[in-house]
Amino acid sequence: MIEFKLPALGSDMDAGTLLEWKVGVGDTVKKGQVVAIVDTSKAAVEIESWQEGTVHQLIAEPGQKMPVGTVMATLLEAGAAAPARVGAGATAAAPAAAPPPPAAAPGAAGAPATRRMISPAARKHAEEKGMDLDRVTGTGPHGAVTLDDVERAAAAQPAAAPEPARPSDRSADMRKTIAAAMSRSKREIPHYYVAEDIPLAQALAWLQAANGARPMAERLLPAALLLKAVATALQRYPELNGYWRDGEFRAEQAIHLGVAISLRQGGLIAPALLDAGNKTLTQLMQELTDLVKRTRAGSLRSSEMSQATVTVTNLGDQGAQTVFGVITPPQVALVGFGRVAERPWAENGGLKVLPVVTASLAADHRVSDGHRGALFLRELNNLLQRPEDLET
């Protein structure tokens, strides 16, 4: 029996709400197949299964909010017999502990489950106010609800009943989520920062020539070239690509670049360009275009939300010259790019004007030091002086 649990879609997620099942009982599930859509504070995310089997039971109900690790469904492995089904709401921490429904309608604390006494005036007034008398505490004889009780409760209740989540609520939730993750980062990760100005004359000239031969839909943005350069440089600096977990660093073989994408309604999501180290520049551009589009449309997959091994943020379009990044735990590094702008550039005793970008690195001192960080940026610089080598 395979337990399909709600995954953590990033370190800043501790709960999610099931929106929809994409499979039914008896369906065969393949590895990587989307089986559910879950709403997090940041986006509605398509949850993939990383195991194969046949759906035995859908435990979570659409609309149910649950903590990370909750068993949402069970799958049967090929040839396995179906055991008895468990109750709804089983969690990883307490497998059979489905939250029991309320024993009775809420009323006065400790009140016996008998018919409540309510004065006619109190009942009439409650009806006029549209109040639920079960929520009014009675202070009259034997707990009877009086007119005074209703008036007191009416004065205390909010002006309007709570509404379903609105965009502003999501925005506030996202801000809280980002704040929690960044507070944890600043509290736990001893950041260090290094930066380097990188001339981009050759890179931009190469891009312009390359784009001249491409149809509009296939043109490359400088952002794609920068991402390719980061992925390539990281192959030589594995201590910047991986996770700090359980008191130690684990380097990751694959390079999954988390790309910070701002949302038009405010907030930020950093889904991953998976296996960026093995993608051509054209593939990276296509996947970046698709990722930005899906992020803003709210259509991301769980693998993209949970697997970034390092983050890249590019604030050049906003005009910032330098980015001082905050690392996304459990990652150990963040690469930032500022605005590409013409600047005076001294070289070989002469002065010229070149397009330049400032690349910065925020990294975790528990894993690397400024010396290695500076070498990484130097490697990035060298790669961007040979853009043709980054094409494949």
Partner 1 sequence: MNTSEIRAVALTTLLSIAPEVEADALRGDRPLRSQVDLDSMDWLNFLLGLHEKLQVEIPEADYARLVTLDDVVAYLQRKLAAR
Interface ranges with partner 1 (CB under 8 A): 208, 211-212, 216-217, 219, 221-223, 262, 264-265, 288-289, 292, 316-318
State in angstroms the smallest separation of the CB of 121 from partner 1. Answer: 51
**CB proximity list for 282: less than 8 A, separation 6 or greater:** 218, 220, 391
State in angstroms the smallest separation of the CB of 292 from partner 1. Answer: 5
**CB proximity list for 346: less than 8 A, separation 6 or greater:** none
**Nearest CB to partner 1, comparing residues 265 and 278:** 265
Per DSSP bridges, beta strands 257-259 and 65-67 are unpaired
**Nearest CB to partner 1, comparing residues 92 and 221:** 221
Backbone torsions φ then ψ of 196, nearest 5 degrees? -145, 135
State in angstroms the smallest separation of the CB of 296 from partner 1. Answer: 9
State in angstroms the smallest separation of the CB of 317 from partner 1. Answer: 4
Tell me the angle at which helices 222-234 and 370-384 cross, rounded to the nearest 10 degrees. Answer: 130
**Nearest CB to partner 1, comparing residues 115 and 264:** 264
**Nearest CB to partner 1, comparing residues 288 and 361:** 288
**Nearest CB to partner 1, comparing residues 157 and 289:** 289
State in angstroms the smallest separation of the CB of 262 from partner 1. Answer: 8
**Nearest CB to partner 1, comparing residues 208 and 253:** 208
State in angstroms the smallest separation of the CB of 380 from partner 1. Answer: 19
State in angstroms the smallest separation of the CB of 388 from partner 1. Answer: 18
Phi-psi region of 79 (alpha: psi -120 to 50; beta: other; left: phi over 0): left
Residue 122, token pair as written in the block: 């109190």
State in angstroms the smallest separation of the CB of 268 from partner 1. Answer: 13
Distances (CA, A) of 119 to 133, 140, 147, 191: 11, 9, 7, 66
Contact 364, 333 (CB under 8 A): yes
**Nearest CB to partner 1, comparing residues 295 and 307:** 295
**Nearest CB to partner 1, comparing residues 155 and 216:** 216
- Strand pairing partners for 17? 39, 65
> Any long-range contacts for 373-380 (C-beta under 8 Å, 24+ apart)?
373/192, 373/194, 373/240, 374/194, 374/196, 375/237, 376/233, 376/234, 376/236, 376/237, 376/240, 377/194, 377/195, 377/196, 378/196, 379/233, 379/236, 379/237, 380/196, 380/198, 380/229, 380/230, 380/233, 380/335
Q: 168-189 burial, b for 16+ CB within 10 Å, e for fewer? A: eebeeebeebbeebeeebeeeb
**Nearest CB to partner 1, comparing residues 198 and 220:** 220
Backbone torsions φ then ψ of 204, nearest 5 degrees? -70, -35
Indicate if the alpha-carbon torsion angle 104, 108, 112, 114 is positive or negative.
negative
State in angstroms the smallest separation of the CB of 264 from partner 1. Answer: 6
